């Protein structure tokens, strides 16, 4: 009788699947793409991160970490590190359309990061979560499993 009770439990565990992280390719470059309104500390201080392949990815399932505080935004001047918005963990769904990419990040679309200080030697990791990200107490992410889908150093 014990075998009959254990078998369904084991089969149920085996039937659960773990979310599979998407496979993507990103390109990065240092640029000044603020549309003439330069909020950064130098002429070449923005980090442009372009989704080259993969996706589309729901922006509410994406966040990034950085080796120094950054602010995520678009090329239209919504990126302002040093004004209290920068952190070492940024959500892609931050603000009201701040990134300029909408609800999904699709191949060919670019987000811009403004690091505090200079852009060179900034390490960035992009993460995908199995469920929408909810920000909690600056820097905590929940719920869902997180998977690093891209990383680079400028």
Residuewise pLDDT in 10s, the chain (154 residues): 444 454 554 444 555 556 688 999 999 999 875 444 444 444 558 899 999 999 899 998 999 999 999 988 877 655 565 556 788 888 888 765 677 888 999 999 999 998 988 899 999 999 998 888 865 444 556 556 889 999 999 9
What is the predicted pLDDT for the residue at 102? 87
Q: Identify the CA nearest to 55 among candidates 122, 126, 125.
A: 126
d(CA 152, CA 154): 7
d(CA 60, CA 79): 19
What is the predicted pLDDT for the residue at 87? 86
CA dihedral 32, 34, 40, 45 (to 10 degrees): -20
What is the predicted pLDDT for the residue at 2? 46
Is residue 75 within 8 Å of 36, Cβ to Cβ? no
pTM: 0.76
What is the predicted pLDDT for the residue at 62? 92
d(CA 18, CA 21): 9
């Amino acid at each position: 009788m014990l075998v009959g009770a254990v078998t369904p439990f084991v089969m149920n565990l085996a039937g659960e699947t773990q979310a599979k992280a998407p496979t993507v390719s990103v390109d990065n470059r240092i640029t000044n793409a603020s549309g003439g309104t330069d909020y950064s500390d130098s002429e070449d201080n923005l980090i442009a991160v372009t989704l080259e392949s993969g996706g589309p990815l729901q922006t509410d399932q994406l966040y990034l970490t950085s080796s120094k505080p950054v602010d995520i935004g678009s090329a239209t001047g919504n990126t302002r590190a040093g004004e209290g918005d920068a952190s070492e963990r940024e959500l892609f769904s931050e603000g009201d359309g701040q990134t300029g990419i909408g609800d999904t990040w699709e191949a060919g679309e670019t987000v811009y990061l403004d690091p505090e200080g200079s852009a060179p030697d900034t390490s960035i990791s992009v993460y995908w979560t199995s469920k929408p990200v909810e920000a909690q107490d600056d820097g905590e992410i929940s719920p869902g499993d997180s998977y690093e889908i891209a990383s680079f150093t400028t």
